[in-house]
Chains A and B, each alone.
Chain A
């Protein structure tokens, strides 16, 4: 068995990103949409670490830490929005929220 080329990791990352995109487009539950966004962020992190390891450059892995911090902030604020939404509208299904529809 020989070693894996960089393309293997990049294609796996692309597949996982696509799964996240399909999740955002198909689910109605706001919590599932947030989880699909996390899937996409993690897919990007995988390709960053892969490029970092194959190119011999540490900056990719440093960027992963910043992505993780932003993702944690996004999860906290997003879930707080879902809680506020549920308190005011008694639903977490995004197609039942039409306050801003004109």
Chain B
């Protein structure tokens, strides 16, 4: 069990570091590559929580599909040479950082003032995260939301094609 604690700190520090790198890199391609690192560290954190199916989905959907799409769009847009990508200085950065510090402080106070009382993962954590039990729930109790999501994805595909088309006339 102490191995979980070790990996939590490794992956947690890597996740915060790569998330900070995503929002500070000037070049969008560098940000996208750090983003892949962020998704992979989160998959590691899911493994420490005994959720292998979620971890696999994280790697397949986020680090695979979504980031390929993002990198593809970055390449497609051809934003010019990296020197021109310099972000203009704006006072928003200071205000946003102060706001972020305030938000973190608020969340810290909120969560540390009232302990949840859960000191260790549930004993059934491993069987809950197993693909068999999650799949059974998904196709019995949650069948309707599952089908609704497929409709949502269809609408998103059609919407994305219409939005990215050059002209609407056939």
Contacts and interface: CB of A to CB of B under 8 A. Distances in A.
Contacts of A58: 128, 133-134, 137
The A contact surface, by secondary structure, is helix
A98 B49 CA distance: 45
A76 B145 contact: no
B134 A62 contact: yes
Interface string B91-105: 011011101100110
B34 to A, nearest CB: 9
B23 A36 contact: yes
A49 B30 CA distance: 28
A73 B69 CA distance: 11
A92 B77 contact: yes
Category for how many chain A residues contact B: 35 or more
21 contacts: A3-B5, A5-B118, A15-B16, A18-B107, A20-B19, A22-B23, A35-B32, A35-B35, A52-B51, A52-B129, A53-B49, A53-B51, A54-B125, A57-B128, A61-B54, A70-B149, A76-B159, A80-B159, A83-B76, A84-B163, A86-B77
Interface of B: 1-2, 4-6, 8, 12, 15-16, 19-20, 22-23, 28, 31-32, 35, 38-39, 42, 45-46, 49-51, 53-54, 57-58, 61-62, 65-66, 69-70, 73-74, 76-77, 79, 87-88, 92-93, 95-97, 99-100, 103-104, 107-108, 111-112, 115-116, 118-125, 128-129, 133-134, 137-138, 142, 145, 149, 152-153, 155-157, 159-161, 163-164, 166
